[in-house]
Amino acid sequence: MGKKETLYPPLPVIIVDDEPQVLNSYDMALRYGGVDNIITCQDSRKVLSLLAEQESEVLVLDLLMPHLHGEKLLGYVRRDFPHIPVIVVTGVDDAETAVRCMRTGAFDYLIKPIDNARLVTTVGRAIAFQELTRENRSLKQNLLHKELKHPEAFSEIITRDEAMRSIFLYVEAIATTLKPVLITGETGVGKELIARAIHRLSNRPEPFLAANVAGLDDNLFSDTLFGHSKGAFSGADQPRKGLVEKASGGTLSLDEIGDLSLISQMKLLRFLQENDYLPLGEDDPRQGNVRIIATTNRNIYALQESGKFRKDLYYRLRTHQILIPPLRDRGADLPILLNHFLEKAASALDKKKPTPPPELLDLLATYHFPGNVRELGGMVFDAVSQHGSGMLGMDVFKTHIAPSGLQSQENAGVPDSKTGLAVLFSDRLPSIKEVTQLLINEALRRSKGNISIAAGLLGISHQALRKRLKRGKQ
């Protein structure tokens, strides 16, 4: 079975001109520019019926045609198909005609002879306008109804968090556009799962490929993405396809984009801008047909402010931006994630699913999870692998969650930005006794009264905490 062809844009660009050589010229220019879903029409009388039968992205319309003049046809199209951008083309440089066409609703007005680059750019702007219009319409519809149309696309993501649900709605709205997506969030929050969901909803039939670009030097980055020809460098005995070619018609996810060098960033920016690339050792550029998703756990905004990440690449990538919240901000997800990972671990280890102790969730709720969902999954798998029978033990979790790792959900490991201190003091310096009692009270509040967990938060033994509590009551 042959490889299914993915055309761009998904709906065709219709070109109307009575001269065959002009149609052929426009067709070749657009295809070279990456627009390969094209229908040509020589008879202006057939355009309205064609539009009625075939949904279209953009209409490129010549004015001076026999049978039905282009300006008259423009009025009919704007009346019956107002959602289709019409690019008017004419050989006559007439300001009055141009003004009339723009007032009728033409998207743009081009005068022959048209430079190929300008034709491609103008059609590209019209396609981008259509994509933005559809995206806004989808966003409004999703926000109004707040119902996922394709919940199955997110089946791998275990959550009941409202912020995650909002992300799902946004993903549904942007999935079918071809613009790049920037996904940010801490390690282990599920960035690749969101990237895969975008691909599933994109209607792009070809593969989803993911590559970690952290640590790649500039040559290896170019070779990985764009490939090379035979003899391009020493050791290049065979030609190699890059990931852009391998993922053609599909989606390419570039992980750890924040670690790219400035030179590699420039190469990626050029590809995103021009949609063409040059394999190592070749002189003729190739056209790309791939949706780029970039993911990172770094603060891209801070990197570009410090000059370590190109601002133009940042602005290009953030056309669609998704920030996935950390697990510590998704408290409602802990119970269902714990149950999910218990079932998954038990199945993988061919064991009966163990029963977790009631206090386990209280313990987990005190932890800030720097590794997020992935870290929780690893903890549960380790605990189940050591589990014999009966109630699941707490030792693995307590060992993993060392006292230094038990921090507040709100301020986990984050010192005050002005002082650099993790604790702030009032004008009156409190006594050691007062601070100690405040710490104990806070630990008991966070552990929901569980003395063992509170002792772990404070870094002291269960017995030591009991003694302090007794002294406080005397």
Q: pLDDT digits over 109-157, tens only?
A: 999 889 998 999 999 899 988 888 887 777 666 666 677 889 999 999 9
Q: Which of 40-54, 211-225, 434-448 has the lowest mean pLDDT?
A: 434-448
Q: What pLDDT, on the 0 to 100 scale, is given for residue 402?
A: 65
CA 259 to chain CA centroid, Å, is: 17
CA 8 to chain CA centroid, Å, is: 20
Please list, in sequence order, all residues whose beta carbon lies within 8 angstroms of the beta carbon of residue 331, skipping any fewer than 6 positions away.
365, 409
Task: With beta carbons less than 8 A apart as the criterion, state whether 344 and 331 touch.
Answer: no
- pLDDT grade for 94, boundaries at 50, 70 and 90: confident
Angstrom distance (rounded) from CA 302 to CA 316: 16
Task: With beta carbons less than 8 A apart as the criterion, state whether 251 and 198 touch.
Answer: yes
Q: Is the pLDDT of residue 408 over 70?
A: no
Better-predicted residue by pLDDT, 6 or 283: 283
Arithmetic mean of pLDDT over the chain: 86
| Domain annotation for the chain: domains and CATH numbers | 13-131 (3.40.50.2300), 146-325 (3.40.50.300), 327-409 (1.10.8.60), 420-474 (1.10.10)
Q: What pLDDT, on the 0 to 100 scale, is given for residue 422?
A: 55
- pLDDT grade for 432, boundaries at 50, 70 and 90: confident
What are the pLDDT digits (tens) for 375-388? 999 999 999 999 98
Average pLDDT of the residues in 205-210: 87
Q: What pLDDT, on the 0 to 100 scale, is given for residue 142?
A: 63
Q: What pLDDT, on the 0 to 100 scale, is given for residue 143?
A: 61
Q: Is the pLDDT of residue 466 over 60?
A: yes
Q: Rg for the chain (alpha carbons), in Å?
A: 30
Query: How far is CA 273 from each of CA 27, 41, 252, 289, 293, rounded to the nearest angstrom?
Result: 21, 30, 16, 13, 15
Better-predicted residue by pLDDT, 347 or 467: 347
Quick check: pTM over 0.85? Answer: no
- pLDDT grade for 457, boundaries at 50, 70 and 90: confident
User: 417-454: string of b/e by CB count within 10 Å (b at 16+)?
Assistant: eeeeeeeeeeeeeeeeeeeeeeebeebbebbeebebbb
Average pLDDT of the residues in 357-372: 88
Q: What pLDDT, on the 0 to 100 scale, is given for residue 260?
A: 94
- pLDDT grade for 275, boundaries at 50, 70 and 90: confident
**Tokens matching residue 474:** 């005397």
CA 368 to chain CA centroid, Å, is: 25
Angstrom distance (rounded) from CA 313 to CA 293: 13
Q: What pLDDT, on the 0 to 100 scale, is given for residue 412?
A: 40
Q: Which of 179, 260, 256, 180 is nearest to 211 (CA)?
A: 256
Please list, in sequence order, all residues whose beta carbon lies within 8 angstroms of the beta carbon of residue 423, skipping any fewer than 6 positions away.
none
Q: Is the pLDDT of residue 461 over 80?
A: no
Q: What pLDDT, on the 0 to 100 scale, is given for residue 195?
A: 96
Q: What pLDDT, on the 0 to 100 scale, is given for residue 310?
A: 93
Q: What pLDDT, on the 0 to 100 scale, is given for residue 321?
A: 92
Q: Is the pLDDT of residue 4 over 60?
A: no
